[in-house]
Every structure is written in C-alpha cells, then in structure tokens.
Homo-oligomer: A and B are copies of this chain.
C-alpha cells in the first residue's frame, strides 16, 4: 500500500504537464527501482536547477548566467529581435538553428477568456527595448492561434510608432505535410502566399 511519502511524491509528480495520477504512480515505482541510476541523480539535478537557473532580465530566457548566454553572445545579431510567447518556443527556435538574433519572451498571449491583459505580458518592456534603438526588425513568432494572432496584432500596433520593421512567421505547408491532411485555413494561407517555383 502506498504510504504517506509515496502518496505525497505521486501527487507532486501528477502536477507536472503530461503526467496524471496513473503515470505519476508508475514514475514513483520506476524511481524506487532505479534509485541510484535515476532517483538520486534527479534530486541532485533538480537542486542544481533550483539554485542556479534564473530568468534573464533582458529577454526572459532561463539560464545559469544572467543575462543569459544568448543575450551575452556578441556573435548574435542584435538588430533582429524575435518575439515569442514562451521559453519553450525560444528553445524550439534555437533547436532549428535558423535564427541568429536576440529574443524577447512575452510570457503568454492576450486572452479575454483567461483574463490575460497587456499589462500581464512583457509588452511595455518590449516597446521600451525597441524604443531604445539599435533594433531594425522585430519578428513576431507567435502561435497561429486566435490568441497568438490577437497578441501579434496588438504588439505590432504598439510598435508601429517606433518605425522598426515588423514581420511575422510565414504560414503554409509544414515540411513533410500532405495536402489532404491539412486544414482549410493553412491551405488558404499557403495558396495566397504562393511563391515562384525555382
């Protein structure tokens, strides 16, 4: 029978995204079985992260150094700023290795439903950062959702008077995507933004 410390650990693990009560129980049993190989290193690693990792005061990324290693990296182009909803999106873009500028993490999207207003996101900070000069292009890399696009419109409006060039990610076929699996919205966007075949 699961006694108190095991129950407590199960409840905490069940709070993580992607884990429910059932998978949390399986995770606890797995941790007990692999005490030396997983449980003890996990405790150590969590402690390291809790102590060392902080939010970058400039862009909002998580890192062990402050400002973060991206904001510090002088090889990166500081004239291009990529605005993302979340650190997860920043990491996804970094994995693609397609962007070599700086980032700005908003911390979410505007949402009337969830009561998230402009003041709840780092929009003022973004406007201040762009107004300070040195930035020529702001890429709004926000999700192609209603909330993402609402936020993009709002941010673009707020940045309009800075005179900086504002762009957004292209919509279209995902690489490897088949037409008959795509939704109408994506197909329409891909058709409208069609390009000359090379």
Residues of A within 8 A of B (CB): 1-6, 8-9, 12-13, 15-19, 23, 25-32, 34-35, 38-43, 45-50, 52-53, 55, 61-65, 68-70, 86-88, 90-91, 94
Contacts and interface: CB of A to CB of B under 8 A. Distances in A.
A2 B87 CA distance: 9
Given A26-B88, A87-B29, A49 B6 contact: yes
Contacts of A32: 49, 53, 55, 62, 87
Contact of A4 (B1, B64, B90): B64
B17 A30 contact: yes
Number of identical protomers: 2
Nearest to A46: B43
Contacts of A42: 9, 12-13, 46
B3 A16 contact: no
11 contacts: A1-B90, A3-B63, A5-B53, A8-B48, A9-B48, A9-B49, A29-B88, A32-B87, A43-B43, A43-B46, A43-B47
